Amino acid sequence: MTACGGGGSGGSGTCNWTPRTSGTTNILYGVAFGNNTFVAVGLNGTVITSSNNGVSWGSGTSGTTQTLLAVVYGNNMFVAVGTGGTIITSTNNGSTWASQTSGTTHVLFSVSHGNNAFVIVGDFGTVLKCP
């Protein structure tokens, strides 16, 4: 097998995984793809990016030391969420990030994008939506 695939109806969905060097020893928790760029996020505000299909990775500047747990791409920007109610956004493929006000200090575990809206979920039943 030379490529990853869903295996079609009833297929195995197997893949030959190729290890890559990320350039960080920090734990990575989430990854997203958009605008021809992969962005991965993790411990202590770690952000790494790849514009060559995940072959090589460079670091971005998140502007936070909070742990980032999830990232998504939509509406021409990446949105990452994490501990301490952290929400950061990037409109330049993860190179630099802007802090957003969440209104909570709860851990934000996941973010999704659909129908031109972002939805974030977190500790204690926290749900945030934009717009």
pLDDT reported for residue 130: 97
- Whether 2 maps to a domain, the answer reads no
Q: Please, which residues bridge with residue 118 across strands?
A: 113, 130
> Quick check: helix, strand or coil at residue 70?
strand
pLDDT reported for residue 1: 42
What's the rounded Cα separation, in Å, for the pair 35 and 16?
A: 25
pLDDT reported for residue 13: 78
- Whether 18 maps to a domain, the answer reads no
pTM of the model: 0.91
Domain extent, residue 111, equals 28-130
What's the rounded Cα separation, in Å, for the pair 131 and 77?
A: 14
- Whether 7 maps to a domain, the answer reads no
pLDDT reported for residue 8: 56
pLDDT reported for residue 11: 61
Q: Are 113 and 72 in contact (CB under 8 A)?
A: yes
Q: How many domains does the chain have?
A: 1
Contacts of 38 (CB under 8 A, 6+ apart): 31, 32, 49, 50, 51, 53, 54
- Whether 74 maps to a domain, the answer reads yes
- Whether 115 maps to a domain, the answer reads yes
Q: Identify the CATH number of the domain in which residue 56 sits.
A: 2.120.10.30
- Whether 62 maps to a domain, the answer reads yes
- Whether 19 maps to a domain, the answer reads no
Q: Which residues of the chain have a pLDDT value below 50? A: 1
